[in-house]
Amino acid sequence: MSDKTEAKSEGEAVGGKKRKGLLIIAIVGLVVLLAGGSGAAWFFMSKGKEDHAAEAEKPKPKSPPVFVTLEPFVVNLAGEVQHYLQVGIDLKVAEPAVGDQIKVHLPEIRNGVLLLLSSKNVEELGTLDGKNRLRAEIRSAVNRPLGIETTAAPAHGAKAGSDAHGVDVDAGHLGEGVQEVLLTSFVIQ
């Protein structure tokens, strides 16, 4: 009997070792799965935060600019010698509603711009500074009937309070009315 009991004890010992080995393997596998799952969760969670941070840092797309084109002006310039000026003007406005206001006040605006242009002489308009000064004066002439006061730019190019083209930026009305005057054609004869 002792042989049988020894064989039975050996079988239980071998079976117990197998069960302990399987149990250890199962526990190790479970730990590995949990560690891998938590690592993956951390990776995806941190990536989501980076995406949200990147979205928050991105500047919001600006709305497209709104332009109002005035019919071309043809005027006699001031001076002893008779010269003509033909000029095309586009106005960059803050919002579409300003374009509608310009249409309502168009006779006043055209009159103001016409008087301004006809008061100029060839020497004033022959330089870049002269053209930039004219742009600032046109901006003021257009904004005035809209109830927006702007001032003309300094005589020599861009200075403090002016944009890159020398046109004055009135901080009280930034973003209102006409933001910029663009000369799309300019012919002196």
Helix axes 96-104, 106-118, angle to 10 degrees: 80
Judged on CB neighbours under 10 Å (0-12, 13-18, 19+), 38 is: exposed
Over 60: is that where the pLDDT of 174 sits?
no
Q: What is 66-188's CATH number, 3.30.420, 2.40.360, 1.10.10, 3.30.479?
A: 3.30.479
- CB environment 96-119: b (16+ within 10 A), e (fewer): eebbebbeebeeebeebbeebbee
**Per-domain boundaries in the chain:** 1-61, 66-188
Q: Which helix (H) or strand (E) holds 17?
A: helix 2-57
Q: Which whole number is the average pLDDT over 78-99?
A: 93
Q: How far apart are the first and last CA of the chain?
A: 132
- DSSP class of residue 44 equals H
Question: Token digits for 73?
Answer: 């002006």
Does 117 score more than 90 pLDDT?
A: yes
Separation between Cα atoms, residue 71 and residue 144, nearest integer Å? 19
**Mean confidence (pLDDT) of the chain:** 78
Q: How far is the CA of 183 from the CAs of 36, 163, 186, in angstroms?
A: 65, 16, 7
Q: What does pTM read for this prediction? A: 0.58
pLDDT in tens, 33-75: 777 777 777 777 776 555 555 565 666 667 888 999 999 999 9
- Tell me which H or E stretch contains 7: helix 2-57
What distance in Å separates the CA atoms of residue 60 and residue 86, rounded to the nearest whole number? 40
Q: Which residue has the higher pLDDT, 166 or 22?
A: 22
